[in-house]
């Protein structure tokens, strides 16, 4: 067998298993690796992804997908499985090379950003990496603005500053304006907002050591929306879209924000802090206020926001929240068309009042573990307070499947990049 392993798709009725169990995701024989298909599309895509994982686990680092039976989604399912954490494995595609190379390029970039250690991807570094990458893709259509450290106070971006002020590495609000028309008065079609907490200790509501270990991934929302914009640009996005990344390290020193503190936002909303580990919604609020200021038609935010979303949908789905049924259905259709698992969870206008405070308009959570029952919906309800137009044209992705602390039968350890295709497709729709 050559150093590059050929991989074939076959119908289950024609596969010779030899000494392998018929249920095996992949069978090795003298031809190479064979994946036996059942004819059920959803099951077969999962089986193909599991086959990719098994080949990676065997120590294989280069494959060639053989034959005309591979379609684009089957090849991408294989690629999601046949991906080591550092994205070193090599795949020769059977067809659709241009589209698959583009997908792989942006998925690997999203995964790289999330997997980098926090010392390498602090707020200013994240903002700079994203600004450089997007400018490289469309230099004539991109402008960049960064609001850093105490400059945030001058612009009343109180959530980002409050969460990030205890770190020696200053918080940042990054605004990337993609304006292909170059008309400064062009309508902003969509504002993308990403939670960019580059490390989350939990603040004074400190996490356990094991709970903190993976918290370099807490900027997964920022990486996901940045990757979505880059992917959409390379697919011919012709609408004005602004990217807002709300970047901070949630750490502890004498300046750290405290339980009982009250933040007054630029729009006048007051928020009592009852849990400093419910910080993502505090920074996203600034992004939503910004989106209202530029009169965006649509707003999409993405965040590794709540453990409650992961409890609800597991680690293979992302969660979607919206009070705009038409826009939510559009996102769900985009997810289905791009084979990304997405599930809509409850959100009603009354969820805005589910974190009450006697001292402010709202608290940032409930003073219970995980925010109590319905924690993911209550967090989305908090954000709904800041979404313009009563939430019309707004989608909130709680990306529960963004990161796996250890490898499993479907994915390598680390970031998955799940969600960037859905958001890009929603932008392009």
- Which pair of tokens denotes residue 265? 């936002």
The β-bridge partners of 394 are: 299
Residues belonging to the active site? 207, 281
- Which pair of tokens denotes residue 254? 């004498």
Residue 422, burial from CB neighbour count under 10 angstroms (0-12, 13-18, 19+): buried
Helix or strand or coil: residue 304?
A: coil
Helix or strand or coil: residue 429?
A: coil
Q: Give how far Cα 297 sits from Cα of 133, 201, 246, 301, 364, Å.
A: 25, 35, 20, 14, 27
CA distance 63 to 294: 48
Beta strand extents in 201-311 (DSSP E only): 241-250, 262-264, 270-272, 298-303
Contact between 301 and 193 (Cβ < 8 Å) = yes
Dihedral angle, C-alpha 18, 21, 23, 28, nearest 10 ° = -50
CA distance 271 to 287: 16
């Amino acid at each position: 067998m050559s150093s590059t392993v050929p991989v074939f798709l076959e119908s289950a009725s024609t596969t010779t298993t030899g000494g392998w169990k018929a249920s095996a995701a992949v069978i090795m024989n003298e031809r190479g690796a064979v994946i036996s298909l059942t004819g059920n599309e959803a099951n077969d895509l999962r089986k193909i992804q599991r086959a990719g994982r098994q080949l990676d686990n065997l120590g294989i680092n280069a494959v060639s997908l053989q034959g005309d039976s591979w379609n684009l989604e089957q090849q991408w399912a294989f690629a999601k499985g046949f991906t080591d954490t550092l994205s070193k494995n090599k795949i020769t595609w059977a067809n659709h090379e241009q589209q698959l190379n583009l997908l792989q390029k942006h998925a690997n970039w999203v995964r790289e950003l999330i997997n980098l250690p926090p010392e390498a991807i602090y707020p200013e570094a994240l903002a700079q990496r994203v600004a450089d990458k997007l400018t490289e893709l469309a230099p004539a259509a991109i402008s960049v603005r960064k609001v850093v450290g105490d400059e945030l106070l001058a612009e009343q971006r109180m959530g980002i500053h409050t969460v990030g002020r205890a770190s020696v590495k200053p918080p940042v609000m990054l605004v990337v304006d993609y304006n292909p028309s170059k008309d400064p008065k062009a309508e902003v079609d969509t504002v993308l907002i990403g939670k960019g907490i580059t490390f989350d200790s939990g603040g004074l509501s400190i996490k356990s050591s094991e709970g903190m270990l993976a918290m370099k991934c807490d900027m997964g929302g920022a990486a996901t929306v940045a990757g979505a914009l880059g992917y959409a640009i390379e697919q011919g996005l012709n609408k004005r879209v602004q990217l807002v990344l709300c970047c901070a390290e949630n750490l502890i020193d004498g300046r750290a924000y405290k339980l009982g503190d009250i933040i007054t936002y630029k729009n006048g909303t007051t928020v009592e802090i009852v849990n400093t580990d419910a910080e993502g919604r505090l920074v996203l609020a600034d992004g939503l206020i910004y989106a209202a200021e530029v009169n965006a038609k649509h707003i999409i935010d993405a965040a590794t926001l709540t453990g409650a979303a992961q409890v609800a949908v597991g680690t293979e789905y992302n969660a979607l929240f919206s009070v705009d049924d038409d826009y939510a259905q559009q996102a769900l259709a985009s997810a289905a068309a791009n084979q990304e698992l997405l599930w809509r969870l409850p959100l009603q206008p009354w969820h805005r009042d589910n974190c009450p405070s006697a001292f402010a308009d709202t608290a940032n959570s409930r003073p219970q573990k995980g925010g109590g029952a319905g924690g993911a919906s209550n967090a989305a309800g908090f954000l709904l307070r800041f979404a313009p137009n009563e939430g019309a044209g707004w989608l909130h992705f709680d990306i529960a499947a963004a990161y796996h602390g250890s490898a499993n039968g479907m994915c390598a350890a680390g970031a998955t990049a799940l969600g960037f295709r859905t958001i890009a497709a929603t932008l392009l729709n």
